[in-house]
Amino acid sequence: MDGLTRAWARLDWNDPLVIGVLAVIAIVALFRGWSFVLLAVLVIALGQGLEYLLGHAAFGNDFNRGLVIGVYAFGGVLFLFLAIAHFFTKR
């Protein structure tokens, strides 16, 4: 699992190819009805975009990092809530 984390962190989020792959995954997930995959892609895009936008803000580096981690934590809680709701509403 440690290797996966390192590989994920080494991705260049400014590369248009990475953004294009995420966009293709989001479009396929939207048309196939994969709500969990779509949510994961949107949370990742929101966190990365927020980190980029706050990179030049007047706030401190610790505040920016905490806010981005907060976005990821909120996405994780939302993901968990949707998984539990899907489990209880499954027919």
> Which token pair is 83?
């998984």
pLDDT of 5 above 70:
no
> Which token pair is 59?
């706030």
pLDDT of 17 above 80:
no
Percent of the chain whose pLDDT exceeds 70: 84
| Measured distance CA(29)–CA(4) in Å, rounded | 22
Please provide the average confidence, as pLDDT, over all residues in the chain.
79
- What's the average model confidence in pLDDT over 42-57? 81
pTM value is 0.67
pLDDT band for 1, please (50, 70, 90 cuts). Answer: very low
